């Protein structure tokens, strides 16, 4: 009899180890920059809302503020364009979500619109190679906005809050440019 014959205790299929999947890789050299930028972009608008007693509007400012997570690995000219497109993409997704939420409460319609938004956001982020965090934040925010009850009359004000916070996030993302105008290029050269 051949020794290659599987026995009751072994399987002919190779077992895959989870160690490779769960192994932590070396973090990015700039891992802290998106984190600090998001704190700097989120805190002022939300603290202002807190002071005004309108923390119920924080979801809309968060939509714009979280755009500060993007484009930290790009030179400043490319970062400016990328951040602008991310803010516009966020506003577009939130606009579709808010209008849909104001027109229907049907869960099937809301989930369908959410799936379509996620697909479009994924395709656009992949096509433009926007980089981390990709479509995840856009999809998370627009999906959440689908389930916030409101009227059509409230949508422009909510979008204005998101746009103002998005403009603030753009400024936060571009803030290091005057101090270190070639910082991203230097980091890329040092890593090469």
Alpha-carbon distance of 161 to 38, in angstroms, equals 17
Contact 172, 71 (CB under 8 A): no
Crossing angle of helices 76-103/107-128, nearest 10°?
170
What pLDDT is recorded for position 32?
74
**Do the domain assignments include residue 21?**
no
**Do the domain assignments include residue 185?**
no
**Do the domain assignments include residue 9?**
no
Number of domains present in the structure of the chain:
1
| Ranges of residues in the chain whose predicted pLDDT is under 70 | 1-31, 183-192
**Do the domain assignments include residue 102?**
yes
pLDDT tens for residues 10-56? 556 666 666 666 666 665 666 678 888 899 999 999 999 999 999 99
**Do the domain assignments include residue 5?**
no
Domain that holds residue 93: 32-175
**Do the domain assignments include residue 131?**
yes
What pLDDT is recorded for position 72?
82
**Do the domain assignments include residue 190?**
no
């Amino acid at each position: 009899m051949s020794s290659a014959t599987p026995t009751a205790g072994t399987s002919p299929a190779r077992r895959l180890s989870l160690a490779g999947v769960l192994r932590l890789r070396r973090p990015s050299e700039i891992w802290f920059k998106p984190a600090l930028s998001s704190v700097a972009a989120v805190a002022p608008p939300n603290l202002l809302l807190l002071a005004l007693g309108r923390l119920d509007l924080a979801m809309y400012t968060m939509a714009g503020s979280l755009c500060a997570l993007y484009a930290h690995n790009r030179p400043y000219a490319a970062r400016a364009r990328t951040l602008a497109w991310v803010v516009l993409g966020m506003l577009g997704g939130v606009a579709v979500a808010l209008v849909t939420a104001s027109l229907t409460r049907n869960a099937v319609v809301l989930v369908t619109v959410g799936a379509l938004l996620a697909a479009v956001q994924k395709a656009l982020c992949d096509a433009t190679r926007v980089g981390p965090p990709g479509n995840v934040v856009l999809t998370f925010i627009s999906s959440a906005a689908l389930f916030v009850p409101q009227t059509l009359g409230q949508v422009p004000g909510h979008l204005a809050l998101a746009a103002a916070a998005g403009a603030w996030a753009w400024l936060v993302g571009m803030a290091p440019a005057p101090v270190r105008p070639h910082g991203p290029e230097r980091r890329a050269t040092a890593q090469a």
